[in-house]
Amino acid sequence: MNIHKIATQPFEDQKPGTSGLRKQVPVFQKRHYLENFIQSIFDSLEGYGGATLVVGGDGRYYNRQAIQIILKMAAANGFGRVLVGQGGILSTPAVSAIIRKYQAFGGIILSASHNPGGPEGDFGVKYNTGNGGPAPEKITDAIYARSREIEVYQILEAADIDLDQLGSSSLGSMAVEVIDSVADYAELMQSLFDFDAIRDYIRSGFRLAVDSMHAVTGPYATQLFETLLGAPAGTVLNGVPLEDFGGGHPDPNLVYAHELVELLFGDRAPDFGAASDGDGDRNMILGHHFFVTPSDSLAILAANATLVPGYRDGIAGVARSMPTSAAADRVAAKLGIDCYETPTGWKFFGNLLDVGKATLCGEESFGTGSNHVREKDGLWAVLFWLNILAVRQQSVEDIVRDHWRTYGRNYYSRHDYEGVESDRANTLVGNLRDRLGSLKGQTFGAYTVDYADDFSYTDPVDGSISQKQGIRIGFTDGSRIVFRLSGTGTQGATLRLYVESYEPDPSKHDIETQTALGDLIQLADELAQIKALTGFDRPTVIT
Ligand code: VG1
Ligand code: CO
């Protein structure tokens, strides 16, 4: 075997964020940049000699080149086998499912998720462990530490693998299997949901549209909804993955998935609409002229879980990220199960899922998932909704309104300020931190501060502590303001403001969200001086 040991020098900026390492494509194309990070991953792991690695990505620009490099490095470093998706395509939840099914050592996912792609867009690398989930902080910290000292990486000199041809080949003594990107995932979905009931419902005239936004879910959605569930051709929109996502921003929210939004809010709108993000782990759920917030979606799936075969025996617990609304907490309380509050990022759910403390998990950022994998899973959430709709035979809107009548409504919104100068963002957060100690008990208009802190999480399974996970200001009426800085952006800083209030009275469930939250939004600006310190007079994205 022709293994080269290549001398290299560390890069200082390879610290993984909320979900892997994300940088602009030209950064990843720098000489040795990707190789350094991959070798740093391998150097941080133990006992993978002869083991299986899963590799795939969301099809964005540089996916194929990166995969060829990773395959040759995996061979040089002693992996026994790599499973790689055909054409280099594997969604994030599919990687998680495949790691688990084949008991692989781990997996590498190439994606910058919802960040735009293309030569000027973003690229990313994420490592998942043997449970199928994102590496915990202990491992990402070790990878970062290694990346700052690395002096050499190993790579096999060999011809490229044909990623489009299914089947086995070898690189040195390592086997490479190009596998169907969809099959294992589709099989898992069929084991969880009542496909017959959903198929019958679609046949009876229920109309749906699924927007894959020219990102990874295209082939998955086409197989699931059109082939297996019999929805008409054309149900899946933008179903061909493109290297630049067709120039779009593959983030399934009301702003970026506007094509689907216009369809669902237009004349002759379908009954149901859904969109997913670049790597297939996020979802947006729409009804006929109706938007379901991700926080409500989690609560509604939890409340209706026993209608779905995979969850018929009930759920053990729910978990949500700290900024996600407390709608799920109310369902958990009624069901008499635990509800966990974790920092932002799916890696914090892994332990809770592994030991069976949580069955369903969710984040306000359009992420929902369960113990079937260890990632959030966009199409899983869509199927879960379809299964509930097929059983209840009510509209999306009726189901949500019914939920609010039972549990009350958690008005919720997130305001993003993207591309803020980092110094200004850090000043804003620093100023808030300095004030935290004195806020409790203070009154602002109708609101009295109940607590104010910088969220710290102690993992109930392994005792690990994660600090400074977002500033929370809670009021005595149950409403909340949260501030945190994004850990997935690649330019400047992104400030996220999360605002929530609770309304038990059904006669007040029809207020427009920004209006319902207007006073709190204004208070957030007063407390944090957002406009003055960022220089922005309004958010860049409101969800
Ligand atoms: C964002 C979301 C977070 C999500 C993360 C990864 O992180 O807020 O909830 O887990 O993206 O999702 P941040 O640090 O930018 O707020 V994905 O679909 O981009 O992998
Ligand atoms: Co994603």
Topology agreement, domain 185-407 and domain 409-542:
no
Q: How far is the CA of 161 from the centre of ligand 1 (A)?
A: 32
| Cβ atoms of 237 and 211 closer than 8 Å | yes
Ligand of minimum distance to the alpha carbon of 320: 1
Question: Is 3.30.465.10 the CATH number for 3-181?
Answer: no
Contact 142, 24 (CB under 8 A): no
Helices (H), 336-421: 350-354, 378-392, 396-407
CA torsion 144-146-148-154 (nearest 10°) is -120
Contacts 24+ apart (CB under 8 A), 158-163: 158/2, 158/72, 158/75, 160/68, 161/68, 161/71, 161/84, 163/64, 163/67, 163/84, 163/86, 163/87, 163/88
Annotated catalytic residues are 113
Task: Kindly report the CATH class assigned to 185-407.
Answer: alpha beta
- How does pLDDT run across 251-303, given as a tens digit for each residue? 999 999 999 999 999 999 999 999 999 999 999 999 999 999 999 999 999 99
Sort 491 into a burial class: Cβ within 10 Å, 0-12 / 13-18 / 19+: exposed
Angle between helices 518-528 and 422-439 (to 10 degrees): 100
Domain ranges of the chain: 3-181, 185-407, 409-542
60 CB-near residues (< 8 Å, 6+ apart):
110, 111, 112, 117, 118, 121, 123, 215, 243, 244, 245, 278
Q: How far is CA 93 from CA 348, 371, 376, in A?
A: 16, 11, 7
Helices (H), 452-538: 513-516, 518-528, 530-534
What pLDDT score was predicted for residue 105? 98
pLDDT cut 70: percent of the chain above it? 100
Q: In this predicted structure, what is the pLDDT of residue 1?
A: 67
The reply to whether CATH 3.30.310.50 applies to domain 409-542 is yes
Task: Encode pLDDT of 427-469 as tens digits.
Answer: 999 999 999 999 999 999 999 999 999 999 999 999 999 999 9
Q: Is the pLDDT of residue 3 over 80?
A: yes
Ligand number nearest CA of 91 is 2
pLDDT (tens digit per residue) in 184-235: 999 999 999 999 999 999 999 999 999 999 999 999 999 999 999 999 999 9
- Per-residue pLDDT tens over the stretch 138-185: 999 999 999 999 999 999 999 999 999 999 999 999 999 999 999 999
- Look at residue 318 and tell me whether its pLDDT is greater than 70: yes
Give the pLDDT score at 487.
86
Q: Which atom of ligand 1 is nearest to the CA of 126?
A: 20
Q: Kindly give, in sequence order, each residue whose CB lies less than 8 Å from that of residue 6, ignoring residues fewer than 6 positions away.
A: 32, 35, 152, 153, 154, 155
* Ligand 1, residues at Cβ distance < 6 Å: 18-19, 113-114, 277, 281-282, 321, 344-346, 363, 365, 367, 486-488, 496
Taking the CA of residue 376 as reference, the ligand 1 atom at the shortest distance is: 18
User: Which is the closest atom of ligand 1 to the Cα of 278?
Assistant: 18
